[in-house]
Amino acid sequence: MEEITRKSLLYKSGLGFWCINHVQGCSHGCRYPCYAWMMAHSRGRVETYDDWCHPSLVANAEELLRKELERMRNRPENIHLCLTTDPFMYGYQEVTGLTLRLVELINSYGITCSTLTKGIMPVELADSSRFSPDNTLGISLVSLNEDFRKKWEPGAAPYSNRIGALRELHDLGCTTLVHIEPYPTPNIINQNLSELLETVEFADEIWFGGWNYNNIVKEYADYKKFYDEQSAIVSRFLSTRLKILK
């Protein structure tokens, strides 16, 4: 795997939370399209989509992060991994290994981590001798249909493996999250949101969001009504589950 060096790693994102991205590019190659790819391309960091799908590891990430955390007077309570790449990139053990070392480093400063992946969340994260039990471990999941994944998230982990790994971490006592975004309209794929929700009912948190990246959804005449209905399904599911848990 290729390597690059950076001058800084930790930053506060425009969304208001602290974040690190210790890889440039992402082999998952999402075609929604990927916002991170569009940004990297427009800023001249990556020339082609093919280059984007051949990621480079930030070789000095640990050294940089340690220095940055040491220098900070008011350290954040939480750091997110990642906004512009995937921390557990499918098939890239080097990425997973580096991510685990960075999470361990961050946790050693009493800072929790939130992670979000379309890869396989490693079971090591349940090891409380290395990692904070207060980390939040999340997957992105917008369908259960493998044909959809192959078309829209071609390099990402198969859904059953992605869900299975998160389920295992949940069973080991970790806090888990499922991010259902960007959820497709029926002109992209006709599917049953309730079935997806039932499959991940074990997750501690479920977030839902529409497909805002291009105009495909607007070709579906009733897309606003559709998203209102899907949001209502999620709300009903979450409130029923809350009652069961009580």
Q: Which is nearer to ligand SF4, 35 or 109 (CB)?
A: 35
Beta strands 56-58 and 23-24, pairing class: antiparallel
d(CA 27, CA 1): 11
Report in angstroms how near the CB of residue 124 gets to ligand SF4 at its nearest.
21
Of 107 and 138, which has the nearer Cβ to ligand SF4? 138
Q: Concatenated DSSP letters for the chain?
A: -EEE--S---EE-TTSSEE---EES-TT--TTT-HHHHHHHHTTS--SHHHHTS-EEETTHHHHHHHHHHH-SS--SEEEE-SSS-TT-TT-HHHHHHHHHHHHHHHHTT-EEEEEESS---GGGG-TTTS-TT-EEEEE-S-S-HHHHHHHSTTSPPHHHHHHHHHHHHHTT-EEEEEEEEEPPTTT----HHHHHHHTTT-SEEEEEE--SSGGGGGSTTHHHHHHHHHHHHHHHHHHHHHHH-
Cβ at position 2, least distance to ligand SF4 in Å: 16
Q: Name the residue nearer to ligand SF4 (CB basis): 69 or 113.
A: 113
Nearest approach, Cβ of 20 to ligand SF4 (angstroms)? 14
- Taking phi first (over 0 means left), then psi (-120 to 50 degrees means alpha), and beta for anything else, what does residue 32 get? alpha
Q: Which residue lies nearer to ligand SF4 by CB, 37 or 237?
A: 37
Q: Which residues bind ligand SF4 (CB under 6 A)?
A: 26, 28-30, 34, 36-37, 85-86, 118
User: Shortest Cβ distance from residue 147 to ligand SF4 (Å)?
Assistant: 17
Q: Which is nearer to ligand SF4, 29 or 69 (CB)?
A: 29
The CB-of-116 to ligand SF4 minimum distance in angstroms stands at 8
Min dist. Cβ of residue 56 to ligand SF4 (A): 14
Calpha distance 202→245 (Å, rounded)? 11
Residue closer to ligand SF4, measured from CB, 26 or 106: 26
For ligand SF4, the closer of residues 156 and 200 by Cβ is 156
CB of 224 to ligand SF4, least distance (A): 24
